Structure 1
Amino acid sequence: MVNATQVSFFTLSAYFDTGVFKYLYFIIIVSLYIVIICANLLLIVVICMNRSLHEPMYLFLVSLFVNELYGSTGLFPFLLVQILSDIHTVSAPFCFLQIYCVFAYAAIQFHNLSILSYDRYLAICYPLQYNTRMTSNKVSVLIALIWLFPFLAIAVLISLSVPLQLCGNIINTIYCDNYSIVKLACSDTRVNNIYGLIYTCLIVFGPLSLILYTYMKILKVCFSGSKQTRQKAVRTCTPHLASLINFSFGCLFQILQSRFDMSSVPMMLRNILSLYFLTCQPIFNPLMYGLQMSKIRSLCKSIIFGKTLTDA
């Protein structure tokens, strides 16, 4: 039995020898990281510098884009070091820090998406009362909750994992994962499993329930409303739905991979899919919202082509 205090590092066994191709992978990852930073920063700047975009929906989008920068930074620099390294190890403190960053990113993303759906629900179902229901104070409180609640929930999750007595230090992933560490435990993990279930309900099923409820109400209004109402709903909800489906797919595979035997799936494919929600989502969202929303699209063009931004 190995005590948790004696485990100074973890070995990430999902990496394999890529030979000279590691430099190609390094360039690909660097390029993705640069695209993510530039795309998300561009939209954050566009929204923050234009008073015409200082509306609740766009402020929630800023929160979404900031979280994508945060989540990417919690993964990409680490991934780049591991790609070039011949020994794929990570210190125990840094491993738990990465778990905190990655899990917090996923939790904040789900909460952001649920609040965006709630905002669209109010805008479509209560258009005349929207400004009184979604006040600036309410927006501030919701954004604070989006960030504070996941950080606190993850802190409890990590605090339960750190003291576990471990029988090994080999993790079959390319980045640190909490459940992979829990599976190494020799000590009783019932508390971890119970809290893990509560955590999943709070972080995943809670936001998804709110999203399902709001879209049921939106559909009801669309079926009974005018053509203009339906067009508004489609125009504003399409990016959100596409983002939700894309993110949920990535998270679902990551959950399945961490809890079930996926040895029949090629290692390369497993690695790519495990990175999906951390790489594709931060690229997908700026493109989807930037292309679908005319206000953002026109203002992005003005920045890219050197025109002066106006406080329209």
Structure 2
Amino acid sequence: MYTNVSSSVLLSLAPLGISDASIYPAFVFGTITYLLIMFFNLLVLAAIVVSKKLHKPMFILLFNLPITDMMGATAFFPHLIYSIVTQDRQISQPACITQAFLIHFYGGGNLLILSSMAYDRYVAICCPLRYNAVMTPHNLIKIITSIWLITFSTVVALILLLARFKMCKTHVVDLFCNNPSLLKLVCDDIRVNNSYGLVIMCLIQGGTLGIIIYTYLQILRTCVMTNHPDARRKAIQTCGSHLVVFLLLEFNSVITLIAHRIESASPYMRRVLGVSVVIFPPFFDPIIYGLKITELKQSIKRFLRRSVVSIKG
């Protein structure tokens, strides 16, 4: 019989293993990392908003990436920083489920956004004469709406399937809450949850990987065949940055999810890769795109100069 999760029970996250002497450095490092993530991503958002030159499909799609990155970082860092200071790893069940929802939303949203950006680059490089006809404002709205609806609906279903159960254990095996670790706290039959999670993992992660592979093979083919070295260099530079961002998220998240299904997998490896999913992409995404995409880098510089001038004035 399924019952609702009780909010009075506290769960315990895996210990951080920080010594007393390392509490202050860890607190400073965690706080600075979170603030930098928020600053870099807000900077990218602001640069895209204020620069009319960036009001193009590629940058409008990119605009969604910092939003999900900040969502993932905010789901993870504030509680982590609190835990470092208090050395208290307890978290309420509603807070734990909310954290799991936000982190899964961040991961799924990022993959879909990155695959849509790959499609945009594919059309721009491989079918340049059809670009304006394909990436119309109407189609762009449909792509962005689909990204958010697919992510929201799949993650809500994931959490609702989990919330049917009453948890019989309280020790979360990971450093943050996620669906696989929460399912380990359930003593009922979770075959439906496991099957749904496997299907969603194959569809979203397998589907986005398929899109990336196809579009980049076509882009590579076009770049090899083109007779314009400057165009080829710019295309490879832009797409190379995009590919690094995607593979960083895809590899770490897939290995982490698979490790949860293999009993003999190292808990340490799973925790390290799991944490890397919510730290590295939000931190490096704005840096990689800000440095490698010339138009965005110039817009960020102009925005910072105007901000400094307005503050001095």
* Separation (CA, whole Å) in 2 of partners of 1:71 and 1:264: 24
**1:240 corresponds to:** 242
Q: Report how far residue 78 of structure 1 moved.
A: 1.3
Show structure 2 runs of 5+ residues with no match: none
Q: Report how far residue 54 of structure 1 moved.
A: 0.3
**2:32 corresponds to:** 31
Do the aligned partners of residues 2 and 163 (structure 1) sit closer, same or farther apart at CA in structure 2, a change above 3 Å counting? closer
1:99–1:177 Cα contact (<8 Å) kept? yes
Q: Report how far residue 270 of structure 1 moved.
A: 5.6
TM-score of the superposed pair, with normalisation by structure 1: 0.91
Show structure 1 runs of 5+ residues with no match: none
Decide which structure has greater helix share. Answer: 2
Do the aligned partners of residues 199 and 236 (structure 1) sit closer, same or farther apart at CA in structure 2, a change above 3 Å counting? same
1:129 match: secondary structure: helix
> Which residue identity does 1:301 align to in structure 2?
K
- Identify which range, 291-300 or 119-128, moves more after superposition: 291-300
**1:255 corresponds to:** 257
RMSD of the alignment, in Å? 2.3
* Separation (CA, whole Å) in 1 of partners of 2:306 and 2:211: 41
Kindly, what percent of the aligned residue pairs are identical? 31
**2:100 corresponds to:** 99
2:240 match: secondary structure: helix
Q: Report how far residue 217 of structure 1 moved.
A: 1.7
**1:276 corresponds to:** 276
2:20 match: secondary structure: coil
Q: Report how far residue 122 of structure 1 moved.
A: 0.2
> Which residue identity does 2:290 align to in structure 1?
G
* Separation (CA, whole Å) in 1 of partners of 2:207 and 2:93: 31
- Identify which range, 271-280 or 33-42, moves more after superposition: 271-280
Is 1:303 equivalent to 2:303 in the alignment? yes
TM-score of the superposed pair, with normalisation by structure 2: 0.90
* Separation (CA, whole Å) in 2 of partners of 1:147 and 1:22: 38
Q: Report how far residue 275 of structure 1 moved.
A: 1.4
**1:191 corresponds to:** 192
* Separation (CA, whole Å) in 2 of partners of 1:262 and 1:14: 20
The equivalences for 1:50-69 within 5 A come to 50-69=51-70
* Separation (CA, whole Å) in 2 of partners of 1:85 and 1:259: 32
**1:221 corresponds to:** 222
Q: Report how far residue 74 of structure 1 moved.
A: 1.3
* Separation (CA, whole Å) in 2 of partners of 1:3 and 1:225: 62
**1:169 corresponds to:** 170
Q: Report how far residue 125 of structure 1 moved.
A: 0.8
1:150–1:203 Cα contact (<8 Å) kept? no
2:167 match: secondary structure: coil
**1:286 corresponds to:** 286
Q: Report how far residue 295 of structure 1 moved.
A: 1.3
**1:8 corresponds to:** 9
2:11–2:91 Cα contact (<8 Å) kept? yes
Do the aligned partners of residues 298 and 129 (structure 1) sit closer, same or farther apart at CA in structure 2, a change above 3 Å counting? same
> Which residue identity does 1:44 align to in structure 2?
L
* Separation (CA, whole Å) in 2 of partners of 1:225 and 1:17: 54
Q: Report how far residue 186 of structure 1 moved.
A: 1.7
* Separation (CA, whole Å) in 2 of partners of 1:38 and 1:153: 29
* Separation (CA, whole Å) in 2 of partners of 1:143 and 1:161: 27
* Separation (CA, whole Å) in 1 of partners of 2:300 and 2:48: 10
> Which residue identity does 1:24 align to in structure 2?
P
Q: Report how far residue 272 of structure 1 moved.
A: 4.1
Do the aligned partners of residues 4 and 11 (structure 1) sit closer, same or farther apart at CA in structure 2, a change above 3 Å counting? farther
1:3–1:166 Cα contact (<8 Å) kept? no
The equivalences for 1:104-123 within 5 A come to 104-123=105-124
**1:85 corresponds to:** 86
> Which residue identity does 1:201 align to in structure 2?
C
> Which residue identity does 1:52 align to in structure 2?
K
> Which residue identity does 1:303 align to in structure 2?
F
1:2–1:166 Cα contact (<8 Å) kept? no
Q: Report how far residue 264 of structure 1 moved.
A: 5.2
Residue-pair matches, total: 307
Do the aligned partners of residues 123 and 22 (structure 1) sit closer, same or farther apart at CA in structure 2, a change above 3 Å counting? same
1:175 match: secondary structure: coil
Do the aligned partners of residues 91 and 2 (structure 1) sit closer, same or farther apart at CA in structure 2, a change above 3 Å counting? farther
Do the aligned partners of residues 18 and 271 (structure 1) sit closer, same or farther apart at CA in structure 2, a change above 3 Å counting? farther
CA displacement, residues 246-280 of structure 1 (integer Å, 9 cap, x when unaligned): 22233134224433357757x5x764432112111
* Separation (CA, whole Å) in 1 of partners of 2:266 and 2:208: 32
1:75 match: secondary structure: helix
Q: Report how far residue 167 of structure 1 moved.
A: 3.0
Q: Report how far residue 174 of structure 1 moved.
A: 1.2
2:253–2:273 Cα contact (<8 Å) kept? no
Do the aligned partners of residues 180 and 146 (structure 1) sit closer, same or farther apart at CA in structure 2, a change above 3 Å counting? same
**1:46 corresponds to:** 47
